[in-house]
Structure 1
Amino acid sequence: MLFGTDGIRDVVNETLTVDLAMKLGNALANLFGNKYKKLYIARDTRNSGKMLEMALASGALAGGLNVESCGVLTTPALAYITKKEKSIGVVISASHNPFMYNGLKVFCEGFKISDETEEKLEEIMQKNLLKYCNYVDIGEYIEDSSKEDYIDYIVSLYQDKIKNKELKIAVDVANGAAGSVIDNIFQKLGLNYSVYKNSPNGFNINDKCGSTSLDYLSKVILKEGYDLGILFDGDADRCLFINKKGEVVNGDMLIALSALKLKAQKRLKNNTVVVTVMSNLGLEEFLKKNEIKILRTQVGDKYVLEKMLEKDSVLGGEQSGHIIFLDRSTTGDGIITALESIETLEFLSKPLEVLINEIPKYPQQLENITVKDKIKIIEDDRVKKLTMKYQTFENFRIVVRPSGTEHKIRIMTEGSDEKIIESCTKEFRNLIQSIDNES
């Protein structure tokens, strides 16, 4: 009920309140207090971040957990810290969502917690099973960013691998958390880059910039003559590229190219890549052509990771740019994805715009429809019947699902016939809006 595909996420002071954050902090102390003695907290640049951090910390401290604030820091950096310190942590971020949203993402020793652990936390929070320790055992609050450990780790991975320092790179950090570490990393690696959209004011995160708004950086690249562009989302757990022609290079394409490199480097364990049902059929065709196995999961990086661990794969991800290099990080890391991709261009010795033309791409349309009750709609028999109708079409795929992070129904249609794609999307749009208006 509280946790979606990426933690707890909603509009601040409506569903996501300081009371909820306090209860989560206390529930973590209740559930993990006997095993872990410290909770690490990081946040992105939203105006609500500090407020939620104080509430979260208060709940944990009252339950006897020590708390260390890492300040503004990326989600993958916090994941790295919890792995290194063998502890738990929470990232306060709503990732790619606009500023009025925020979220609470829980990590344990580098990994996002399981569905089962989320259910245990929900039970504690919803039944108000709060734990208040004796006053002499109240936790200690420390303000001490541990980001230098993360920076040093990333630099150590790539300082001897990226030799081409001539690429002229534009970087859009979306007025988000990537801005807190990008210069420290890219400067130490000697890259030729410029940073854009790094003036956060609490309200401009992801606002007409970053991985959800490509136009701004695309225009910059064409005007200033950059070789490529890198776009992060608000918490930098994903990234997309733009080539010198101003064209987007999505997660599917980055995964495809990385798979070739990893296979050649003998890093691609079990010769297997994990993606979701949203990935384009062209990616599947490309990987099979290069004798690489592909597995699909439901949408959500946590499910990609679960399948990667189950099948002992090191590469997996989503079309949105959330890519996991499991031999480098326990979660999707936009900065690692960016640096791996830069290294891939060097390794394959071809420009990005040439490489992506080698990857087939089937026509695909994505539609996001805002609704009042996404669960009611997705369970409506009319939606199920229409889905079954289009699933019988040849060379055609349809995925209709509730968003795990917003009040939306997401529709993906894909196939060889663009007219069927358009008519299918229109029919679903009209049906969903009609059902939504009934309530």
Structure 2
Amino acid sequence: MSVELGEPRMISAPRTVVARVPGSKSIMARALLIAALAEGTTRLVAPLAAADTVAFAEGLDSLGFRVTREPDVWAVTGDPTGPPAPEATVWCHDSGTAARFVPALAALGLGRYVIDASAQMRARPMGPLLTALRGLGVRVDAAPGNGLPWVVHGSRLAGGAIEVDAAVSSQYLSALCLSAPAMRDGLKVQAPNPVSAPYVHLTLTMMRQFGVESSWDGSTITIPPGIYQAQEYRIEPDASTASYFFAAAAVTGNTVTVPGLGRRSSQGDLRFATEVLPTMGCRVDVDDDSVTVTGPPRLRSPGTVAMRDISDTMMTLAAIAPFADAPTRITDVGNCRVKESDRIDAITTALTACGVSTRSGPDWLEIDPGTPTGALVQTRSDHRIAMSMSVAGLRTPGIEFDEPSCVGKTFPQFHQEFAALARAWDLPSGGTRNSV
């Protein structure tokens, strides 16, 4: 099955649509782990119910934590000492966040914990986390090449001082920080110049919201022993997912408002709207609890954009770059080659299939202006390929996807919501339609 995006038309005056974006995957994953180590029962309001977060919740259940999932609230009863189960097998599916966070959590337990995942996740790098855990005295049996499956022999991890290579993924660093309060000696971790640093800031901010303080001098994070305090915690919308709706307004000259995000948000990917889109001629209004983007009559090129800190929105920018008035160059995104797919290759291949001229290197890509044409896009089972190219599809009739269902990883209703967006803006097709 594929999804074909119908041909739009530019409208004479901007039309405002309110887009309902689901909860943040990054916030949800951190909240689940914190709740597992908290004293009491934490209620997560407006939870993200998607493949990645369900995998994480099921993993916590396997480790012996009590997790109940209702449509509007997920509840987790924590144990500040670590996993209650003496042994468990945790299946992380395609979730990189679960696969990186769970081993550090399992090390706090007292038993044998098998952690495994899909073939896609097995191929992603895990070595720096393995090195760090072993450096803290944790016995971990790993597959050849240091990838999953792992067997973590939990022994009430004591903590201490460690250095972490977070140049490929900040998740290694966040995983250790989130589990650090339950370590007897706390944790002092050196990680100079981590990639996607805003995600580390998000981790420390959420830890503080649950009662655990930390310090970060730019290269060393220090976290003393402590206990998270259970609470009712609302999951704010996902800034990475919101980027597709902001970009949709940008390429169609319309206006979209995403409620629930605003100037108080700790999500770094909101910078796509607040920093990148204004350089392309968009008007961006940020309030306490909403962000509104209005697209210009014609997009300007942002020139060269370094996206190391907001690399999950790299493909969003790449997808709208053909509609700009000059080439767009995206730099410092080498970590995108080891995500769910090689995202630099995946997005340039998709754009090339649509007739767009691109160039790329180890950590950069460049996109020329042009008029994309319809084509079958190979998603490589990567949700962000499908969602990014859906934005291009608002200006390109005939774009189809080989695996449209891959959006279920973070936003199962994405295609329906994008179709509603197109209808609200009076685009002729009314959005997406399925075809076999």
Superposition TM-score tier, normalisation by shorter sequence? 0.3 to 0.5
Of the two structures, which has the highest relative contact order with CA contacts closer than 8 Å and spacing of 6 or more?
2
Task: Identify the structure with the greater helix proportion.
Answer: 1
TM-score by length of 1: 0.32
